[in-house]
Amino acid sequence: MKDFIGIADHSPADLQAMLDLAVELKKEHQAGGNKPRLQGKTLAMVFQKPSLRTRVSFDMAMRHLGGDALYLSPAEIGLGQRESIADVARVLSGYVDAIMARVFDHAHVLQLAEWAGVPVINGLSDYNHPCQGMADALTIQEEFGALKGINVTYIGDGNNVAVSLMHICAKLGANFTIANPAGYAIVPGAVDLAKQFAAESGSALTFIEDPHAAVKNVDVIYTDTWTSMGQEEEARKREAVFPPYQVNPQLVSEASKRAIVLHCLPAHRGQEITDEVADGPHSRLFPQAHNRLHAQKAILVKLLG
Protein backbone atom coordinates (compact mmCIF):
# COMPACT_ATOMS: atom_id res chain seq x y z
CA MET A 1 0.00 0.00 0.00
CA LYS A 2 1.74 3.16 -1.19
CA ASP A 3 -0.91 5.81 -0.43
CA PHE A 4 -4.28 6.14 1.27
CA ILE A 5 -6.32 8.40 -1.01
CA GLY A 6 -9.72 6.71 -1.07
CA ILE A 7 -11.64 3.70 0.23
CA ALA A 8 -12.31 2.74 -3.38
CA ASP A 9 -8.60 2.05 -3.98
CA HIS A 10 -8.39 -0.86 -1.53
CA SER A 11 -9.75 -4.39 -1.52
CA PRO A 12 -12.29 -5.55 1.07
CA ALA A 13 -9.61 -7.83 2.55
CA ASP A 14 -7.15 -4.96 2.93
CA LEU A 15 -9.78 -2.68 4.47
CA GLN A 16 -10.83 -5.37 6.94
CA ALA A 17 -7.20 -6.04 7.81
CA MET A 18 -6.74 -2.34 8.63
CA LEU A 19 -9.88 -2.36 10.79
CA ASP A 20 -8.65 -5.44 12.64
CA LEU A 21 -5.27 -3.76 13.15
CA ALA A 22 -7.06 -0.66 14.49
CA VAL A 23 -8.84 -2.86 17.03
CA GLU A 24 -5.51 -4.38 18.06
CA LEU A 25 -3.80 -0.99 18.35
CA LYS A 26 -6.71 0.44 20.35
CA LYS A 27 -6.58 -2.45 22.84
CA GLU A 28 -2.82 -2.13 23.10
CA HIS A 29 -3.08 1.61 23.77
CA GLN A 30 -5.75 1.10 26.44
CA ALA A 31 -3.63 -1.60 28.09
CA GLY A 32 -0.75 0.77 28.73
CA GLY A 33 0.51 2.18 25.44
CA ASN A 34 1.42 1.32 21.89
CA LYS A 35 4.72 -0.20 20.87
CA PRO A 36 6.98 2.35 19.11
CA ARG A 37 6.31 0.89 15.66
CA LEU A 38 7.04 4.23 13.96
CA GLN A 39 10.15 5.18 15.92
CA GLY A 40 12.15 7.72 13.92
CA LYS A 41 9.33 8.37 11.42
CA THR A 42 7.91 11.84 10.76
CA LEU A 43 4.54 12.79 9.24
CA ALA A 44 4.07 16.19 7.55
CA MET A 45 0.49 17.42 8.04
CA VAL A 46 -0.50 19.87 5.29
CA PHE A 47 -3.67 21.85 5.99
CA GLN A 48 -5.73 24.02 3.66
CA LYS A 49 -8.77 23.72 5.97
CA PRO A 50 -8.88 24.15 9.75
CA SER A 51 -9.37 21.04 11.82
CA LEU A 52 -9.79 19.71 15.34
CA ARG A 53 -10.10 15.93 14.92
CA THR A 54 -7.80 15.49 11.91
CA ARG A 55 -4.93 17.52 13.34
CA VAL A 56 -5.01 16.19 16.90
CA SER A 57 -5.74 12.57 16.00
CA PHE A 58 -2.89 12.32 13.47
CA ASP A 59 -0.49 14.18 15.77
CA MET A 60 -1.31 11.93 18.72
CA ALA A 61 -1.29 8.79 16.57
CA MET A 62 2.31 9.48 15.57
CA ARG A 63 3.30 10.26 19.17
CA HIS A 64 1.67 7.08 20.50
CA LEU A 65 3.53 5.03 17.87
CA GLY A 66 6.90 6.61 18.65
CA GLY A 67 7.07 9.03 15.72
CA ASP A 68 6.69 12.76 15.16
CA ALA A 69 4.19 14.96 13.32
CA LEU A 70 4.83 18.38 11.79
CA TYR A 71 1.91 20.79 11.31
CA LEU A 72 2.02 23.02 8.21
CA SER A 73 -0.64 25.74 8.12
CA PRO A 74 -2.32 27.11 4.97
CA ALA A 75 -0.16 30.24 5.16
CA GLU A 76 3.08 28.27 5.25
CA ILE A 77 2.60 26.38 1.99
CA GLY A 78 -0.29 27.72 -0.12
CA LEU A 79 -0.60 24.59 -2.29
CA GLY A 80 -0.56 25.51 -5.96
CA GLN A 81 -0.32 29.24 -5.21
CA ARG A 82 2.97 30.16 -3.53
CA GLU A 83 4.57 27.03 -4.95
CA SER A 84 3.48 24.28 -7.32
CA ILE A 85 2.05 21.10 -5.80
CA ALA A 86 4.66 19.02 -7.62
CA ASP A 87 7.46 21.06 -6.05
CA VAL A 88 5.92 20.88 -2.57
CA ALA A 89 5.59 17.10 -2.88
CA ARG A 90 9.17 16.62 -3.98
CA VAL A 91 10.60 18.96 -1.35
CA LEU A 92 8.66 17.37 1.52
CA SER A 93 9.64 13.90 0.33
CA GLY A 94 13.25 14.73 1.17
CA TYR A 95 12.36 15.79 4.72
CA VAL A 96 9.64 13.46 6.01
CA ASP A 97 8.47 9.84 5.77
CA ALA A 98 4.81 10.52 4.86
CA ILE A 99 2.47 13.39 4.02
CA MET A 100 -1.11 13.87 5.21
CA ALA A 101 -3.03 16.56 3.37
CA ARG A 102 -6.40 18.13 4.20
CA VAL A 103 -7.42 20.05 1.07
CA PHE A 104 -10.33 21.64 -0.75
CA ASP A 105 -9.72 20.29 -4.27
CA HIS A 106 -9.35 16.51 -4.59
CA ALA A 107 -7.02 17.06 -7.54
CA HIS A 108 -4.49 18.55 -5.12
CA VAL A 109 -4.15 15.38 -3.05
CA LEU A 110 -3.92 13.32 -6.24
CA GLN A 111 -1.09 15.56 -7.49
CA LEU A 112 0.71 15.26 -4.16
CA ALA A 113 0.53 11.47 -4.43
CA GLU A 114 1.72 11.57 -8.05
CA TRP A 115 4.85 13.59 -7.28
CA ALA A 116 5.72 12.54 -3.74
CA GLY A 117 8.35 9.91 -3.11
CA VAL A 118 6.73 9.05 0.24
CA PRO A 119 3.21 7.83 1.12
CA VAL A 120 0.38 10.37 0.94
CA ILE A 121 -2.76 10.20 3.09
CA ASN A 122 -5.95 12.03 2.16
CA GLY A 123 -7.06 13.78 5.35
CA LEU A 124 -10.12 15.17 3.54
CA SER A 125 -10.94 16.57 0.12
CA ASP A 126 -14.08 17.92 -1.54
CA TYR A 127 -14.65 14.46 -3.06
CA ASN A 128 -14.13 12.06 -0.17
CA HIS A 129 -13.00 11.59 3.44
CA PRO A 130 -11.48 8.09 3.67
CA CYS A 131 -9.96 8.44 7.14
CA GLN A 132 -13.40 9.33 8.47
CA GLY A 133 -14.85 6.34 6.61
CA MET A 134 -12.41 4.02 8.37
CA ALA A 135 -13.34 5.45 11.78
CA ASP A 136 -17.03 5.07 10.91
CA ALA A 137 -16.52 1.42 9.95
CA LEU A 138 -14.52 0.78 13.12
CA THR A 139 -17.35 2.24 15.21
CA ILE A 140 -19.99 0.12 13.46
CA GLN A 141 -17.84 -2.99 13.80
CA GLU A 142 -17.37 -2.37 17.53
CA GLU A 143 -21.13 -2.02 17.97
CA PHE A 144 -22.36 -4.92 15.83
CA GLY A 145 -19.35 -7.20 15.39
CA ALA A 146 -19.02 -6.68 11.62
CA LEU A 147 -20.38 -4.55 8.78
CA LYS A 148 -21.78 -7.45 6.74
CA GLY A 149 -25.59 -7.22 6.64
CA ILE A 150 -25.82 -4.08 8.81
CA ASN A 151 -28.31 -1.48 7.55
CA VAL A 152 -26.73 1.98 7.39
CA THR A 153 -28.68 5.12 6.44
CA TYR A 154 -27.14 8.51 5.74
CA ILE A 155 -29.50 11.49 6.04
CA GLY A 156 -28.64 14.77 4.30
CA ASP A 157 -26.20 16.19 1.79
CA GLY A 158 -24.43 13.69 -0.50
CA ASN A 159 -21.03 15.11 0.38
CA ASN A 160 -17.47 13.81 0.77
CA VAL A 161 -18.30 12.00 4.02
CA ALA A 162 -21.25 10.26 2.36
CA VAL A 163 -18.99 9.08 -0.48
CA SER A 164 -16.50 7.33 1.81
CA LEU A 165 -19.25 5.88 4.03
CA MET A 166 -21.05 4.51 0.96
CA HIS A 167 -17.85 3.00 -0.43
CA ILE A 168 -16.82 1.22 2.76
CA CYS A 169 -20.36 -0.09 3.28
CA ALA A 170 -20.42 -1.41 -0.28
CA LYS A 171 -16.93 -2.92 0.05
CA LEU A 172 -17.65 -4.70 3.34
CA GLY A 173 -21.24 -5.79 2.71
CA ALA A 174 -23.30 -3.32 4.72
CA ASN A 175 -26.55 -2.16 3.14
CA PHE A 176 -26.35 1.56 2.44
CA THR A 177 -29.24 3.99 2.02
CA ILE A 178 -29.03 7.74 1.52
CA ALA A 179 -31.94 10.14 1.77
CA ASN A 180 -31.24 13.61 0.40
CA PRO A 181 -33.21 16.50 -1.09
CA ALA A 182 -33.38 16.70 -4.88
CA GLY A 183 -30.21 18.30 -6.20
CA TYR A 184 -28.02 17.19 -3.29
CA ALA A 185 -27.23 13.61 -4.32
CA ILE A 186 -23.84 11.90 -4.21
CA VAL A 187 -21.83 12.56 -7.38
CA PRO A 188 -22.66 9.96 -10.07
CA GLY A 189 -19.09 8.69 -10.50
CA ALA A 190 -18.87 7.73 -6.82
CA VAL A 191 -22.25 5.97 -7.05
CA ASP A 192 -21.11 3.98 -10.10
CA LEU A 193 -18.09 2.73 -8.15
CA ALA A 194 -20.27 1.81 -5.17
CA LYS A 195 -22.55 -0.23 -7.42
CA GLN A 196 -19.54 -2.22 -8.63
CA PHE A 197 -18.40 -2.89 -5.08
CA ALA A 198 -21.93 -3.80 -3.93
CA ALA A 199 -22.30 -6.30 -6.75
CA GLU A 200 -19.19 -8.08 -5.44
CA SER A 201 -20.08 -7.96 -1.72
CA GLY A 202 -23.85 -8.44 -1.84
CA SER A 203 -24.51 -5.02 -0.36
CA ALA A 204 -27.82 -3.30 -1.22
CA LEU A 205 -27.73 0.38 -2.20
CA THR A 206 -30.81 2.61 -1.97
CA PHE A 207 -31.14 6.24 -3.08
CA ILE A 208 -34.32 8.05 -2.01
CA GLU A 209 -35.57 11.46 -0.86
CA ASP A 210 -37.85 10.48 2.05
CA PRO A 211 -35.85 10.42 5.34
CA HIS A 212 -38.63 8.58 7.19
CA ALA A 213 -38.70 5.73 4.69
CA ALA A 214 -34.89 5.66 4.81
CA VAL A 215 -34.67 4.93 8.55
CA LYS A 216 -37.21 2.09 8.79
CA ASN A 217 -35.57 -0.77 10.71
CA VAL A 218 -32.03 0.56 10.18
CA ASP A 219 -29.13 -0.09 12.54
CA VAL A 220 -27.13 3.08 11.90
CA ILE A 221 -28.33 6.63 11.23
CA TYR A 222 -25.59 8.97 10.03
CA THR A 223 -25.79 12.70 9.43
CA ASP A 224 -23.45 15.59 8.70
CA THR A 225 -23.61 19.35 8.48
CA TRP A 226 -25.87 20.77 5.78
CA THR A 227 -23.21 23.24 4.66
CA SER A 228 -19.59 22.10 4.39
CA MET A 229 -16.50 24.32 4.48
CA GLY A 230 -16.22 26.10 1.16
CA GLN A 231 -20.01 26.24 0.68
CA GLU A 232 -20.71 29.19 2.97
CA GLU A 233 -22.35 31.19 0.16
CA GLU A 234 -24.99 28.45 -0.11
CA ALA A 235 -25.77 28.35 3.61
CA ARG A 236 -29.03 30.33 3.51
CA LYS A 237 -30.35 28.32 0.57
CA ARG A 238 -29.46 25.03 2.23
CA GLU A 239 -31.02 26.05 5.55
CA ALA A 240 -34.33 26.44 3.69
CA VAL A 241 -34.08 23.00 2.05
CA PHE A 242 -32.72 20.64 4.70
CA PRO A 243 -34.93 21.00 7.85
CA PRO A 244 -37.03 17.91 6.93
CA TYR A 245 -33.74 15.96 7.10
CA GLN A 246 -32.99 16.80 10.72
CA VAL A 247 -32.06 13.79 12.86
CA ASN A 248 -34.34 14.29 15.86
CA PRO A 249 -36.01 12.00 18.43
CA GLN A 250 -38.99 11.34 16.16
CA LEU A 251 -36.79 10.18 13.27
CA VAL A 252 -34.64 8.01 15.54
CA SER A 253 -37.76 6.39 17.03
CA GLU A 254 -38.64 5.11 13.55
CA ALA A 255 -35.39 3.12 13.29
CA SER A 256 -34.45 -0.17 14.96
CA LYS A 257 -34.45 -0.07 18.76
CA ARG A 258 -30.74 -0.98 18.65
CA ALA A 259 -29.93 1.83 16.21
CA ILE A 260 -26.91 4.03 16.80
CA VAL A 261 -26.49 7.59 15.56
CA LEU A 262 -23.23 8.80 14.02
CA HIS A 263 -21.96 12.25 12.95
CA CYS A 264 -18.44 13.07 11.75
CA LEU A 265 -18.49 16.41 13.65
CA PRO A 266 -18.41 19.34 14.02
CA ALA A 267 -22.18 19.28 14.57
CA HIS A 268 -24.45 22.26 14.08
CA ARG A 269 -26.79 21.38 16.91
CA GLY A 270 -30.38 22.39 16.23
CA GLN A 271 -29.85 22.03 12.49
CA GLU A 272 -28.92 18.56 11.18
CA ILE A 273 -29.07 16.99 14.67
CA THR A 274 -30.77 17.91 17.94
CA ASP A 275 -29.20 17.97 21.38
CA GLU A 276 -31.56 15.20 22.52
CA VAL A 277 -30.12 12.85 19.89
CA ALA A 278 -26.48 13.98 19.99
CA ASP A 279 -26.37 13.51 23.78
CA GLY A 280 -28.89 10.69 23.98
CA PRO A 281 -28.63 6.90 24.42
CA HIS A 282 -28.41 6.15 20.69
CA SER A 283 -25.50 8.53 20.12
CA ARG A 284 -22.02 7.22 19.42
CA LEU A 285 -20.67 10.60 18.27
CA PHE A 286 -17.75 10.74 20.68
CA PRO A 287 -16.59 7.11 20.52
CA GLN A 288 -16.73 7.63 16.75
CA ALA A 289 -14.58 10.76 17.01
CA HIS A 290 -12.10 8.94 19.26
CA ASN A 291 -11.90 6.10 16.73
CA ARG A 292 -10.31 8.51 14.26
CA LEU A 293 -7.14 8.10 16.37
CA HIS A 294 -7.13 4.32 16.21
CA ALA A 295 -8.20 3.94 12.58
CA GLN A 296 -5.49 6.37 11.50
CA LYS A 297 -2.87 4.54 13.55
CA ALA A 298 -3.69 1.45 11.49
CA ILE A 299 -3.32 3.40 8.24
CA LEU A 300 0.02 4.84 9.37
CA VAL A 301 1.36 1.44 10.43
CA LYS A 302 0.32 -0.12 7.10
CA LEU A 303 2.10 2.65 5.20
CA LEU A 304 5.17 3.14 7.38
CA GLY A 305 5.52 0.15 9.71
**Per-residue pLDDT tens digits for 168-206:** 999 999 999 999 999 999 999 999 999 999 999 999 999
- For residue 199, being part of any structural domain is answered with yes
- For residue 2, being part of any structural domain is answered with no
Question: Domain span at residue 202?
Answer: 131-288
Options 53, 102, 263, 284, the catalytic residue: 102
Whether residue 135 is found in the same domain as residue 283: yes
CA distance 305 to 298: 9
Whether residue 61 is found in the same domain as residue 169: no
* Sequence-distant (≥ 6) Cβ neighbours of residue 55 within 8 angstroms: 45, 47, 71
pLDDT of residue 139: 99
Whether residue 29 is found in the same domain as residue 92: yes
* Residue 292 annotated to the active site: yes
**Per-residue pLDDT tens digits for 4-48:** 999 999 999 999 999 999 999 999 999 999 999 999 999 999 999
Options 264, 271, 284, 288, the catalytic residue: 264
**Per-residue pLDDT tens digits for 42-88:** 999 999 988 999 999 999 999 999 999 999 998 888 777 788 999 99
* Residue 224 annotated to the active site: yes
**Per-residue pLDDT tens digits for 210-246:** 999 999 999 999 999 998 776 778 888 999 999 999 9
- For residue 138, being part of any structural domain is answered with yes
Options 10, 238, 282, 292, the catalytic residue: 292
CATH of the domain at 235: 3.40.50.1370
Whether residue 154 is found in the same domain as residue 102: no
CA distance 196 to 49: 32
Nearest to 153 by CA among 1, 237, 262: 262
Whether residue 135 is found in the same domain as residue 98: no
* Residue 63 annotated to the active site: no
Options 59, 108, 224, 282, the catalytic residue: 224
pLDDT of residue 1: 85
Whether residue 136 is found in the same domain as residue 257: yes
pLDDT above 90 for 100 = yes
Whether residue 282 is found in the same domain as residue 196: yes
* Residue 264 annotated to the active site: yes
pLDDT above 90 for 106 = yes
Options 16, 48, 132, 141, the catalytic residue: 132
Options 129, 238, 263, 294, the catalytic residue: 129
pLDDT of residue 162: 98
**Per-residue pLDDT tens digits for 112-146:** 999 999 999 999 999 999 999 999 999 999 999 99
Whether residue 105 is found in the same domain as residue 208: no
- For residue 231, being part of any structural domain is answered with yes
Whether residue 161 is found in the same domain as residue 68: no
* DSSP 3-state percent helix, strand, coil across the chain (nearest 5): 50, 15, 35
* Residue 102 annotated to the active site: yes
pLDDT of residue 77: 83
Contact present, 295 and 22 (Cβ < 8 Å): yes
- For residue 1, being part of any structural domain is answered with no
pLDDT band at 272 (very low <50, low <70, confident <90, very high): very high
Predicted structure pTM score: 0.97
- For residue 38, being part of any structural domain is answered with yes
Whether residue 268 is found in the same domain as residue 279: yes
pLDDT above 90 for 298 = yes
Whether residue 182 is found in the same domain as residue 42: no
* Residue 126 annotated to the active site: no
Whether residue 135 is found in the same domain as residue 247: yes
pLDDT of residue 172: 98
- For residue 145, being part of any structural domain is answered with yes
Q: What is the mean pLDDT of residues 234-261?
A: 96
Backbone angles phi, psi at 23, to 5 degrees: -60, -45
Domain count, the chain: 2
- For residue 75, being part of any structural domain is answered with yes
The letter for the amino acid at 140 is: I
